[in-house]
A and B are shown apart, each in its own frame.
Chain A
Amino acid sequence: MKLSDRVERVPPSGIRRFFELAEEMDDVISLGVGEPDFSAPWAAREAAIQSLERGRTSYTANRGMRELREAISDHVAARYDLDYDPDDEVLVTTGVSEGVDVAMRALVDPGDTVAVPQPSYISYAPGVIFADGDPLPVPTREADDFKLTYERLEASGAADAGVLITCYPNNPTGAVMTASELEPVAEFAREHDLTVISDEIYADLSYGFDHTSVATLPGMRERTIVFNGFSKTYAMTGLRLGYAMAPPEAIAGMNRIHQYSMLSAPTTAQHAALEALRSCDDEVEEMVATYNRRRNLVLSRFEEMGIDCFEAKGAFYVFPEAPGGDAERFAEDLLHEQGVAVVPGNVFGEGGEDHLRVSYATGTQDLKEAMDRIEAFL
């Protein structure tokens, strides 16, 4: 069968290779997992079960259940000072993944350029390509703690792009950006009339400070689509539920695609999500406290081992330098010799070649054991 050019343009994911290597081995402790090790809070799971018991198995409104959109709107207002109308400024999607894909297709015309900071989550550049756009890598550097800067944007030619993707707290680096650090990025977007796709899925996993959404900066709301969801905060990755927030015309445009391609996000998950927003703050607080302790543990252990690692303050990743410099080689040898899986930074794009993504979404005992093994490996 002849496949389309856009499929051929996208190489298979580099994560996949490491997954296969790790699967071949026994007794592997994986620090390569990009999702929480917790299960969703019981109240949310029970709400899903109840919705099934009551036979709530139909589609919902295209944009998601009205009640859920209201709860989302209230939640982001209270937590991030974001103000979106549940009627025409919120779209519930099948994970942020669908949301970002729909946004690309709604914003990008063939040949349009989309600035993609790197290292970054592996789906952004392929998403641009599937929308027939051209991804423009914007490297971020350890010297800047992997934050995006005005200078990097300028130097990479992002001024000519139509869309800029941002993701803070960041996967894979764990980098975060404060309001004052985001301001120059916002300035760049305003000056060059960029639309910003801001993936804030890890917003609640910010340690020691409050997350700022780029959409709250002056002149940014009208040019930003904010994404968040339930996967990371509420440990609900498999339920596939996220949401997009933007001015009405952007949401209407995205919904045009969403209503044909997805119809509506999973109904069971929407019921779970509603309950998560209503009653699971304590569980979230506890999970965040646990991640933070593990983060401290891992950063301390790396420091003691002499592995250079900037202080990542978000998500559940740290991004140390690979001892010896070759991340892929280090990760493969570590896996084979000590049975610890980490992800070499090169799979996340330019600038990651000499770094490792180490996830601490793993039980504390396993994490300690993994650190002992890494120390033994060095």
Chain B
Amino acid sequence: MTDKRELLDLLLENARYSTEDLSRMTDLSEEEVVSTIETLEDEGIIRGYQAVVDWHRVKKEHIRAEVELNVTLDRDTGYDDIAERLARFPEVTTLQLVSGDYDFHLEVEGDSLQEVSNFISEQVAPTPEITQTVTHYVMETYKDRGIDFEDGHDDDDRLSVSP
């Protein structure tokens, strides 16, 4: 495994591992860890670092919707052009072109149901190239980006000391 890949795996596991711990867990010195991560950032391989949040535990309301979009293309407008426009909205947290029954998959987040639905009906749906939207509001999140939201803190049922 390359050093870059090894560090990517570790940062995917926990982006808050300290440089010290990353160095301890790999064959790299602290300086090498720092420079490899810088390279990964410079090359645009690492695009950012974010917390994975269980919004159910945050007192404030938070709404997430998965939106299916169908579009029509013409001579002057391709997928990239439509994507570029949609990606500008801060409400759109994820935008992907997908295979299957529809074209774009969006994730839209907002502080209330009203805010998210207004955004979709007023900003997204009226776009001329967009022919259809189907909105799914997220009701419950069980797992997000590999992290299980189950209350699994004390589910280690192994004997505390064993041969």
Contact = CB atoms under 8 A, between A and B. Distances in A.
A225 to B, nearest CB: 21
Interface in B1-36: 1, 9-10, 13-14, 21, 23-27
A22 interface: yes
A13 to B, nearest CB: 7
A156 interface: no
A123 B163 contact: yes
Contact of B161 (A32, A293, A294, A300): A32
Contacts of A301: 24
A187 interface: no
Interface string A9-38: 000010100110011000010101111010
Contact of B25 (A15, A18, A122, A293): A293
Contacts of B1: 289
Contacts of A289: 1, 9
B99 to A, nearest CB: 23
A33 B161 contact: yes
Contacts of A18: 161
A13 B163 contact: yes
A34 B159 CA distance: 9
**Which label, helix, strand, loop or mixed, suits the secondary structure of the B interface?**
loop
B158 interface: yes
A37 B25 contact: no
Given A289-B9, A364-B14, A297 B25 contact: yes
Given A293-B10, A294-B25, A23 B162 contact: no
A37 B159 CA distance: 11
Contacts of B24: 296-297, 300-301
A22 B158 CA distance: 13
B50 interface: no
B77 interface: no
A34 B163 contact: yes
B160 A19 contact: yes
Contact of A32 (B10, B13, B26, B160): B160
Query: Contact residue range for chain B?
Result: 10 to 19
Interface in B127-163: 156, 158-163
Contact of A37 (B14, B27, B158): B158
A301 B18 CA distance: 14
A184 B113 CA distance: 73
B150 to A, nearest CB: 13
Could you say which of A15, A35, A123, A297 has the most chain B C-beta atoms within 10 Å of its C-beta? A297
A314 B10 CA distance: 21
Given A37-B156, A297-B25, A364-B14, A22 B163 contact: no
A341 interface: yes
Contacts of A37: 156, 158
Contacts of B25: 293-294, 296-297, 300
Nearest to A30: B160
Nearest to B13: A364
Nearest to A31: B161
Contacts of A32: 160-162
A33 B158 contact: yes
Interface string A310-344: 00000000000000000000000000000001010
A130 interface: no
B135 to A, nearest CB: 31
A34 B26 contact: no
A33 B14 contact: no
Contacts of B23: 300
Interface of A: 13, 15, 18-19, 22-23, 28, 30, 32-35, 37, 121-123, 171, 289, 293-294, 296-297, 300-301, 341, 343, 364, 368
What 6 pairs across the A-B complex have the smallest Cβ distances? Answer: A300-B24, A32-B161, A293-B25, A19-B161, A22-B160, A30-B160
Given A35-B162, A368-B21, 20 more contacts: A13-B163, A15-B161, A15-B162, A15-B163, A19-B160, A19-B161, A22-B160, A23-B160, A33-B159, A33-B162, A34-B162, A121-B163, A122-B163, A171-B163, A293-B25, A293-B26, A296-B26, A297-B25, A301-B24, A343-B161
